[in-house]
Amino acid sequence: MNPKSTLAQEEIFGPVLSIMTYRDEDEAVRIANDTIYGLAGGVWSKDEERARRVARRIRAGQVDINGGPFNMQAPFGGFKQSGHGRELGRFGMDEFLEYKSLQYKPEGKA
């Protein structure tokens, strides 16, 4: 499949599997990041450290490694045009909070 095709460039929802070949890690990451979206992705490898290294380079809000299960405590949301902000966990609460700083001088202190 061509990395510039609609299937590769758009957010496709549903039971769809698209397969693209790549020469090395750098090309795989380039293909994964070459879209205006970044909701989720996945990395599979026998080498867990390599999979983590590649997953860290992918610009998506969630990257599953070797079919890792969904974590309800982890923040969920996308990058780029897949959205900003996060749902779930502490990060999901941040958009509803207003932070305030208080500075005071304790009595008797110069």
pLDDT in tens, 58-71: 999 899 999 999 88
**Residue 12 in 3-state DSSP?**
coil
- Residue 106 domain flag: no
pLDDT recorded at residue 89 = 64
Report if residue 15 sits inside a domain: yes
Q: Which two tokens stand for residue 80?
A: 């780029």
For residue 22, pLDDT beyond 90 = yes
**pLDDT tens string 48-106:** 999 999 999 999 989 999 999 988 778 788 888 887 666 766 766 776 677 767 677 77
Residue 110 lies in a domain: no
Question: Looking at the domain assignment, is residue 88 inside a domain?
Answer: yes
Question: Residue 1: its pLDDT value, please?
Answer: 82
Evaluate whether 89 touches 73 at the Cβ level (below 8 Å).
yes
CATH of the domain at 32: 3.40.309.10
Q: For residue 110, name the pLDDT band (cuts at 50, 70, 90).
A: low
pLDDT of 51:
95
Q: Quote the CA–CA distance of 96 and 58 in Å, as a whole number.
A: 28
CA of 4: how far to CAs of 23, 31, 48, in Å? Answer: 17, 9, 29
pLDDT of residue 96: 67
Domain assignment present for 103:
no
Contact 16, 8 (CB under 8 A): no
Structurally, the chain folds into a number of domains equal to 1
User: Quick one: what percent of the chain has pLDDT higher than 90?
Assistant: 37
| CA torsion angle 67 69 72 61 (round to 10) | -10
Please name the residues in contact with 28: beta carbons below 8 A apart, sequence gap of 6 or more: 22, 54
Range of the domain at 70: 6-96
